[in-house]
Amino acid sequence: MVIKTVEFVKSSEKWQNCPEPTLAEYAFIGRSNVGKSSLINAMMNRKDLAKTSQTPGKTQLINHFIVNEKWYLTDLPGYGYAKVSKVQRKDFEKLITNYILNRKNLVNLFVLVDARHNPQKIDLEFMEWCGESGVPFSIVFTKADKLKTSVLTKNIEEYKNELLKFWEELPQCFVTSAEKKEGCDDILQLIEDTNTFLEKNKVKFEN
Ligand code: GTP
Ligand code: MG
């Protein structure tokens, strides 16, 4: 997909304040610091579109971007950020789950996991919740540049095997590096194909 235009639309503190749900929407979710905002910037070929930080918990609101005046790209706050109070964490989780369950135009969720780590309970539980809630999602392995190819391949194989203990089939998986801009085109291709499918089937998003 050629990115002709991308604009920041708004930051919202709850789903009710998000832009009118009249376009197909694709959202990025995952643990704090996994690289959601960085991957969005890499995909859009922009340095500072979504704010990134070495400190977890940077993105605290639901950030909407509009791409090619046609679809929404959404940067969500991370879940599981340890350094906030339990109450704050619950509030964050509520914000995220309410957004996911109520956002009528959400077509696909990209669940990011760090390619360096073993499957984490919080991610597996989140994906399980997506499955139970009927939320379509794909898995995106991030920070691939931080590993040697052999280790990366092994980690991803192990991750998939772990998932297959709970899932009959795997969702679509992407291996990415925001640093090296790897895997970005594959994600954009999925979005383009999905948009084409929606258009062909005359799917309309209305208020
Ligand atoms: P929150 O908004 O806090 O939930 O974090 P986030 O998931 O948006 O992560 P962010 O994009 O801010 O990146 C966190 C840190 O990881 C930053 O220091 C990034 O530079 C680094 N990072 C992100 N993606 C990559 C990558 O592909 N490769 C490498 N080497 N570093 C990355
Ligand atoms: Mg972020």
Q: What is the pLDDT of residues 186-200, one digit of tens each?
A: 999 999 999 999 999
Residue 67 Cα to ligand 1 middle (Å): 21
**Residue 205 covered by a domain:** no
Cβ neighbors of 110 (< 8 A, separation 6 or more) are: 26, 27, 28, 29, 137, 138, 139, 140, 174, 187
Nearest to 113 by CA among 36, 170, 25: 36
d(CA 194, CA 97): 23
Paired with 173 in beta bridges are 139
**Residue 187 covered by a domain:** yes
> Which residues fall inside 5 Å of ion ligand 2, going by CB?
36-37, 58-59
When mean pLDDT is compared over 11-15, 80-84, 182-186, 200-204, the highest value belongs to: 182-186
Tokens of 69: 């005046």
Give the tens place of pLDDT for each residue, 159-178: 999 999 989 999 999 999 99
User: What is the pLDDT, as a whole number, of residue 90?
Assistant: 81
* Crossing angle of the two packed helices 121-133 and 149-163, in degrees rounded to 10: 50
DSSP 141-192: EE-GGGS-HHHHHHHHHHHHHHHTTT-SSPPPEEE-BTTTTBSHHHHHHHHH
Please name the helix (run of DSSP H) or strand (run of DSSP E) that holds residue 96, with its range, or none. helix 86-102
Tokens of 13: 């503190």
**Residue 63 covered by a domain:** yes
User: What is the pLDDT, as a whole number, of residue 185?
Assistant: 97
User: What is the pLDDT, as a whole number, of residue 59?
Assistant: 72
**Residue 189 covered by a domain:** yes
**Residue 1 covered by a domain:** no
Residue 38 Cα to ligand 1 middle (Å): 5
**Residue 60 covered by a domain:** yes
Residue 56 Cα to ligand 1 middle (Å): 9
Nearest atom in ligand 1 to the alpha carbon of residue 75 is 8
d(CA 33, CA 179): 14
Containing structural domain, residue 53:
6-200
User: What is the pLDDT, as a whole number, of residue 80?
Assistant: 79
Number of domains in the chain: 1
Tokens of 149: 């190819």
Domain CATH number, residue 74: 3.40.50.300
Confidence of residue 112 (pLDDT cuts 50, 70, 90): very high
Give the tens place of pLDDT for each residue, 121-142: 999 999 999 999 999 999 999 9
